[in-house]
């Protein structure tokens, strides 16, 4: 009897120990998962431009870097680009540009959405504002990048206004209630521009894209209708465009080389340190918008993990 009791007790003890071990293991596994999760939770970035090639030029190198680190990047064109050509137009051009955008998206490693609004006719109306709000919400964006509302092109200008108009509304559940409102307002940034009035662009964040520059140029070249046809024609330099694919890439790389101004160099030094900053050949820079979440230095480093001293 005593023996049996002891045995039962022993079995119970074994059961308890096994149970505790299992629980302990489970806790370790769960802890490990949440740790991994915290480390690998992808940053979600959405870049919004007016035309199917705007995000590419302003943030393509940064997008390649983020996507290659496992983060989620989406490009959105608010118009379908159906006015951006000297001899083509309408639905046929919109279709051609959609195909170019999809190809560019593949080369950048991002998803590319093109909204079906007419090119050259964009206005900051409620309908398009709701489209923009939905895109930011559906992407569950941590960061939104768009043009400043000062620009020569009305579509660029109004894309800037539309994204600013969405910068608070993405969190308001009663606006566009068919799409879940964001719990946290994203960080809103501006692409670089050269306009001086009412105030010049301020490079708050500088990303070294030297190592991805060639990939960026290769992705940009997917927009054949733009970089090799329309932009040279409207810019008066169509005669410069080479005919062979290899020569075109070299030519496009030269055209896309932007000067590293003293302000940009200062920003590069801030984020990468002096030594690395001196070696940078190509950079993309962004300004923090006053609307949306205001990030501190550490938060910017979390959202742009390639910024390392
Ligand atoms: Zn544009």
The per-residue pLDDT for range 276-298, each reduced to its tens digit, is 999 999 999 999 999 999 999 99
Segment 77-94, tens digit of pLDDT: 999 999 999 999 999 999
The whole-angstrom separation of Cα 168 and Cα 170 is 6
Sheet containing 187-191: order of strands: 111-114, 72-77, 44-49, 143-146, 187-191, 283-292, 205-208
Reported as half-sphere exposure (CB side, CA atoms, 13 A), residue 87 has a value of: 3
Cα 153 to ligand 1 centre (Å): 7
pLDDT per position as a tens digit, 23-75: 555 555 555 444 444 457 999 999 999 999 999 999 999 999 999 999 999 99
Q: For the chain, which residues make up each domain, given as ranges? A: 1-39, 42-303
Contact 74, 113 (CB under 8 A): yes
Please give the share of the chain, as a percent, with pLDDT higher than 90: 86
What per-residue confidence (pLDDT) applies to 27?
A: 52
Tell me: cis bond preceding 198? Omega within 30 of 0 counts. Answer: yes
What tens digit of pLDDT does each residue of 162-198 get?
999 999 999 999 999 999 999 999 999 999 999 999 9
Find the 57 Cα to ligand 1 centroid distance in Å. 10
Distance 21 CA to ligand 1 centre (A): 61
Ranking 14-23, 89-98, 239-248, 264-273 by mean pLDDT, the lowest is 14-23
Instruction: Measure 53 CA to ligand 1 centroid, in angstroms.
Output: 7
What is the topology classification, in CATH, of domain 42-303? Answer: Rossmann fold (3.40.50)
Mean pLDDT to the nearest integer, 259-272: 98
**Residues within 5 Å of ion ligand 1, judged at the Cβ atom:** 50-51, 54
Q: What is the pLDDT of residue 309?
A: 83
For 206-253, the pLDDT digits (tens) are 999 999 999 999 999 999 999 999 999 999 999 999 999 999 999 999
Query: Taking the model in full, what pTM does it have?
Result: 0.88
Size of the chain, expressed as the number of residues it contains: 309
């Amino acid at each position: 009897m005593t023996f049996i009791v002891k045995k039962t007790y022993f079995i119970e003890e074994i059961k308890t120990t096994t149970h505790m071990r299992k629980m302990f293991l489970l806790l370790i596994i769960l802890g490990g998962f949440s740790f991994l999760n915290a480390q690998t939770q992808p940053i979600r970035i959405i870049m919004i431009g007016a035309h199917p090639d705007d995000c590419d030029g302003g943030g393509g190198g940064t997008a390649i870097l983020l996507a290659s680190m496992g983060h989620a990047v989406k490009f959105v064109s608010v118009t379908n680009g159906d006015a951006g050509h000297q001899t083509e137009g309408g639905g046929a051009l919109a279709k051609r540009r959609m195909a170019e955008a999809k190809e560019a998206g593949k080369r950048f490693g991002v998803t590319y959405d093109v909204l079906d609004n007419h090119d050259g006719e964009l206005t900051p109306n409620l309908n398009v504002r709701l489209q923009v709000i939905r895109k930011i919400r559906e992407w569950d964006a941590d960061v939104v990048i768009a043009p400043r509302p000062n620009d020569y092109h009305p579509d660029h200008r109004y894309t800037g206004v539309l994204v600013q108009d969405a910068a608070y509304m993405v969190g308001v559940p009663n606006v566009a209630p068919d799409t879940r409102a964001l719990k946290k307002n994203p960080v809103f940034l501006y692409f670089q521009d050269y306009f001086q009035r009412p105030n010049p662009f301020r490079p708050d964040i500088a990303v070294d894209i030297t190592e991805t520059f060639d990939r960026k140029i290769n992705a940009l070249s997917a927009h054949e209708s733009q970089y090799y046809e329309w932009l040279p024609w409207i810019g008066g330099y169509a005669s410069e465009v080479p005919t062979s694919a290899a020569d075109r890439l070299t030519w496009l790389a030269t055209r896309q080389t932007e000067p590293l101004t003293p302000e940009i160099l200062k920003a590069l030094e801030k984020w990468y340190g002096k030594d690395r900053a001196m070696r940078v050949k190509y950079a993309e820079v962004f300004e923090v918008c006053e609307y949306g979440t205001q990030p501190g230095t550490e938060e910017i480093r979390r959202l742009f993990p390639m910024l390392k001293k």
